């Protein structure tokens, strides 16, 4: 294999596999990312990068300690009716940037089965533009008709510095308010 700047070609386009969904059966809101980044994959945890704003935002909006241990944070989401998953089950991507996901390697998650198992779901929130575009292009056309509200949110990724924490928090606060 050819070596390029201390990485192999295979390393540059690593096959990455996503995580199982975090969801209670009565979930009302589903938050979707695109694919976990390198820090998350290494730790086998959603939003593990220390500068990702997801946990601080979710904690503030839903009223839990974002510094709590990971299982407690996941339980807080489930208790609040919020499910967490990614659009993609697998893909090839060097590093963590969504822009580097190889389009010819996308494997979407099984949303038809997920939606069947979560009949109370009313809203799908996209954590960033890439998650929204991947879902609308590769998932939505294959789903049976079901009335769901779709909300595009600013990415909580540290790579998305165009929006301030306060602006992200305001958008996420509205989106994570569980409808009655």
Query: In angstroms, what CA-CA distances link 14 with 38, 41, 59?
Result: 10, 12, 32
Interacting residues of 61 by C-beta distance below 8 A, sequence separation 6+ = 169, 172, 173, 176, 177
| Pick from 82, 110, 95, 101: nearest CA to 41 | 95
Higher per-residue confidence, 180 vs 18: 18
**Rounded Cα–Cα distance for residues 73 and 153 (Å):** 21
**Rounded Cα–Cα distance for residues 22 and 76 (Å):** 11
Q: How would you write 106-117 as a 3-class SS string?
A: CEECCHHHHHHH
Q: Per residue in 41-60, pLDDT tens?
A: 889 999 999 999 999 999 99
User: How many CB atoms neighbour CB 2 within 10 A?
Assistant: 6
Interacting residues of 5 by C-beta distance below 8 A, sequence separation 6+ = none
| Predicted local distance difference test score (pLDDT) of residue 52 | 94
| Whether pLDDT at 3 is above 50 | no
For the chain, the straight-line distance linking the first and the last C-alpha, in angstroms and rounded, comes to 56
Decide if 52 is catalytic: yes
**Rounded Cα–Cα distance for residues 31 and 14 (Å):** 25
Residue 113 half-sphere exposure toward CB, CA atoms < 13 A: 5
**Rounded Cα–Cα distance for residues 133 and 106 (Å):** 13
Q: Per residue in 78-104, pLDDT tens?
A: 999 999 999 999 877 776 666 667 778
Identify which of 2-6, 16-20, 35-39, 73-77 has the greatest average pLDDT.
73-77
How far is CA 87 from its chain centroid? 7
Q: Which of 27, 30, 36, 52 is catalytic?
A: 52
12-176 belongs to CATH 3.40.470.10: yes
| Predicted local distance difference test score (pLDDT) of residue 160 | 65
| Whether pLDDT at 69 is above 80 | yes
User: How many CB atoms neighbour CB 164 within 10 A?
Assistant: 10
Which structure tokens are listed for 170?
Answer: 């305001």
């Amino acid at each position: 294999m050819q070596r390029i700047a201390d990485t192999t070609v295979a390393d540059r386009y690593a096959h990455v596999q996503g995580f199982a969904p975090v969801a209670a059966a009565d979930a009302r809101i589903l938050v979707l990312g695109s694919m976990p980044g390198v820090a998350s994959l290494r730790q086998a945890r959603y939003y593990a990068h220390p500068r990702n704003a997801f946990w601080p935002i979710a904690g503030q909006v839903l009223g839990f300690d974002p510094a709590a241990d990971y299982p407690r944070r996941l339980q807080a989401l489930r208790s609040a009716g919020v499910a967490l998953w990614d659009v993609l089950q697998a893909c090839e991507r060097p590093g963590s940037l969504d822009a580097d996901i190889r389009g010819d390697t996308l494997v979407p998650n099984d949303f038809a089965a997920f939606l069947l198992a979560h009949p109370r779901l009313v809203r799908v929130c996209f954590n960033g533009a890439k998650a929204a575009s991947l879902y609308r292009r590769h998932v939505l056309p294959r789903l049976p008709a079901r009335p769901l509200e779709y909300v595009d949110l600013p990415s909580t990724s540290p790579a998305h510095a165009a929006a301030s924490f306060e602006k992200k928090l305001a958008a996420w606060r509205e989106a994570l308010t569980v409808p009655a």
